[in-house]
Amino acid sequence: MSKEKKQGKGHRQCKRCGTHRALIRSYNIGLCRRCFREVAEELGFRKFS
């Protein structure tokens, strides 16, 4: 068994750009604000204003 899968709180980074800043924890997406916005637009989310 591997323990590498264990991800504690606070040690997250954007899975898109890898930054640790401005991560959105409210959603379980693992993206920073910047990437979230870009992804959201790609997905058709336009409610983010």
- Distance in Å, CB of 10 to Zn ion, minimum: 17
- Distance in Å, CB of 15 to Zn ion, minimum: 8
Contact call for residue 23 and Zn ion (CB under 5 A) = no
Residue 42's alpha-carbon distances to 3, 4, 37, 38, 46, in angstroms, are 34, 31, 9, 6, 9
- Distance in Å, CB of 35 to Zn ion, minimum: 3
Q: Give 32's DSSP letter.
A: B
Structure tokens at 35: 């990437």
Residue among 16, 29, 38, 40 that touches Zn ion (CB under 5 A) = 16
